[in-house]
Structure 1
Amino acid sequence: MSYIKDLDFTHQIEALILNPQKVSEFQLLQKIKELPFISIIDEIDSQVSELIKLKNPSVKFQSTELAEQVETFFEEIDKEKFGVWVYYSWKNALVHLLPEEDFITVRTIRNKFKITDEEQSALATKKIGIIGLSVGQSVAISLAMERSFGELRIADFDTLELGNMNRLRTSVLNLGVSKTTLVKREIAEIDPFLKVKVYDEGLTDGNIESFFTEDGNLDLVVEECDNIKVKIEVRIKARELGIPVIMDTSDRGLIDIERFDLETDRPIFHGLLSGFGSENDLLENLNSSKTEILMSILDYEKISVRGKNSLSELGKSITSWPQLGTSVIMGGAMCAHFARKILTTQEVNSGRAYIDLDLYFNNKNESKN
């Protein structure tokens, strides 16, 4: 089978979407089906049954009735040529899916009324950038599940290490794989029609302009990187372009929102770094003041006791800021929640809030005593 060489997608991170109505793509589909070890997942009947149910919400179908409806649906349609087939090279898998519009309708049906049709349509036009893919991975997956964007730009230079796996939901099979690849693949497996653009060198002086503006400006940025210089530069750039920024710190449920789209002269980090001089001074003196700047960004006095203990151990018994999977997952969900609200023009102000579950329940218990 000489064509197998031509179908070597091993190094690709794109899901290959095939329209079987097109002769050339149907022929390619047949070749892929003949690949060794290929897994073919064809649950198109189940998807069509969901489509029928959502189009008839007041009808209570019996299983036999629904099966008959599906059979009728395909009476004049070549089932193999209906919808699309998606080839996932990294899984050596081929999946049969509904056409894009129907796929989106069925996949987002449980969003309805929590997210209005108008909001869902608006979100499909939005461009979101995520910098840093630890908390950022949870943000990206949460956004993808709700379909809160049309395009996602993800930036991280790092690869998956074993020590990341207390907070990144992935497999040991992916050790050594770049984090951008992991996130892009996972989103493609959730929804192959979502556009994800990868910046696998992280955010640099050479690509920051592209990240923010290529093919249209970003509508929102989620900043979750460890590099203080990048944190500062991202906010300066976002303010220049009028783009809101969201951040989670994975400590005490801190969520940080800067509405540079509404306040074009707002000081970065809510003015917490004003004691270090101008923003130019801040960047020029970064190396000598890095620890003090980090403590100001984190608002040291408000960090949890265990967070402070962790910071005191940096460079002694640990090499980096600890993050727990529970905190990262919660932070990712909160960032996605506020991103959706901002992008659908609901009222969200600049500021910081602590969703501190420990403090809440401790106070509740104390009040009972």
Structure 2
Amino acid sequence: MDNSAKKNELDHAWKPVILSPRNQEDTDVVKKLKDTGKVMFFDTFELQLTELIKARNPKRNLSLEELSEKKADFFSASGKSSMESGNWVYYPWRNTLVRILEENEFVQLRTVRNRYKITQEEQEKLQNQVIGVIGLSVGQSVALCLAMERCFGELRIADFDTLDLSNMNRIRTGLFNLGIKKSWIVAREIAEIDPYLKVTLFNEGVTESNLETFFTWEGKKLDVLIEECDSLPIKLLSRIQAKAMRIPVMMDTSDRGMMDIERFDREPERPIFHGLLEAFGEEKSLLAKLPENGKEVMMALLQFENLSDRVKYSFSELGKSITSWPQLASSVILGGAACCHYARMLLLGQELASGRFYVDLDHIINLNEG
């Protein structure tokens, strides 16, 4: 298999194909797919158009006759017939064709319930932002939340791993995805929500050799990095790189709702991890010291004394009764939502300081009981 064929096969594993009914070649592809009798197809274009027209006329409860008139006006203004309007989206992994509105109308309708929590001006600004997510356990929840709110123009996701059954206590997916790359799973789900969003995959994860490429893919620097990987070396290297490029970093640990924000864009001299690792020497020498100090470094950056009692206990059981520390879906989803919320604040220029804070649900309920 040559490189181009291999790339096409890989793309089809996660990337939707957008086909225009105004392009004869695309129309032929749609016909061939339908003629196989093996492809499911869903055409709800008229339903979407009806909703779009209602959204554009919020002051009136339009009658069926008025809706028909406005649909006719829509086609007349676009210069396209009903059958020439919209786009077909083919999802190879589902062997499914779906007809949707064209991009501008689709985005307008899909984000209409964001207003005025997100203004139109803010929504447009977010479409120019590039967000990177390393690690796709917590990172899956982050990525999906960002996609649902349409908080980016490009999302770069990186993870080398495939889905295991034990991951499914916190990763929302189906059993049919066992053994599939986590990056494919996330990219597919985003495409099924919004095929017009740009998602770039680093299927082998982020490594020392491709780190700079991840930060500058196609000449576009990340606007924010959300780091959720398990690798201690990559945690350190990604922050050192972000600091050098003045890119802010966010992290959630899925314990006690801890959020960590480092505003290297505003504070380029700020020590990584808020100076929690200064006892181990200069930042550039930290990586070399990991083989002998890895556990101590991890305990310092996590602030072991601030972890929940159950997570503290789990560390004593590593290599005995468990192979990794526990993470629960409720904590992961909360962390994904928090990262999305604070990333949006940051990208829109709202006030957001560096620091580490907790959205500890147990602590909150205990305070209320007191």
TM-score (norm 2): 0.94
What amino acid is the match of 2:283?
Answer: E
* Equivalent residue number for residue 41 of structure 1: 42
* Equivalent residue number for residue 354 of structure 1: 358
SS of the residue aligned with 1:204?
coil
SS of the residue aligned with 1:52?
helix
What amino acid is the match of 1:313?
Answer: E
* Equivalent residue number for residue 22 of structure 1: 23
Listed as ranges, the matches of 1:114-133 within 5 Å are 114-133=117-136
CA deviations on 1:108-139 (whole Å, 9 max, x unpaired) are: 00111111111111110000000000000000
Structure 1 position 71, deviation (Å): 6.2
Structure 1 position 248, deviation (Å): 0.1
Distance 1:10 1:360, change over 3 A: closer
* Equivalent residue number for residue 227 of structure 1: 231
* Equivalent residue number for residue 56 of structure 1: 57
Distance 1:351 1:8, change over 3 A: closer
CA deviations on 1:225-272 (whole Å, 9 max, x unpaired) are: 000000000000000001000000000000000000000000000000
* Equivalent residue number for residue 242 of structure 2: 238
* Equivalent residue number for residue 197 of structure 2: 194
What amino acid is the match of 1:258?
Answer: E
SS of the residue aligned with 2:264?
coil
Aligned residues: 360
TM-score (norm 1): 0.94
Give percent identity, aligned residues only. Answer: 51
What amino acid is the match of 1:81?
Answer: E
Distance 1:36 1:260, change over 3 A: same
What amino acid is the match of 1:265?
Answer: E
Listed as ranges, the matches of 1:268-307 within 5 Å are 268-307=272-311
Work out whether 1:340 is the aligned partner of 2:344. yes
Work out whether 1:260 is the aligned partner of 2:261. no
SS of the residue aligned with 1:57?
coil
Structure 1 position 282, deviation (Å): 1.4
Q: Distance in 2 between matches of 1:64 and 1:251?
A: 55
Structure 1 position 79, deviation (Å): 2.3
CA deviations on 1:171-227 (whole Å, 9 max, x unpaired) are: 000000000000010000010010101001110122111100122100000000000
Structure 1 position 57, deviation (Å): 1.2
CA deviations on 1:282-304 (whole Å, 9 max, x unpaired) are: 11110111111111111011100
SS of the residue aligned with 1:289?
helix
For the 8 Å contact 1:10–1:90, the answer to whether it is kept is no
Flag structure 1 segments of 5+ consecutive residues without an equivalent: 1-6
Structure 1 position 281, deviation (Å): 2.6
For the 8 Å contact 1:9–1:89, the answer to whether it is kept is no
For the 8 Å contact 2:158–2:201, the answer to whether it is kept is yes
- Which of 140, 155, 160 is the equivalent residue of 2:158? 155
For the 8 Å contact 2:261–2:353, the answer to whether it is kept is yes
Q: Distance in 1 between matches of 2:270 and 2:286?
A: 16
Distance 1:9 1:81, change over 3 A: farther
For the 8 Å contact 1:10–1:89, the answer to whether it is kept is no
Question: Which stretch of the first structure deviates more once superposed, 170-179 or 26-35?
Answer: 26-35
Distance 1:8 1:150, change over 3 A: closer
What amino acid is the match of 1:92?
Answer: N
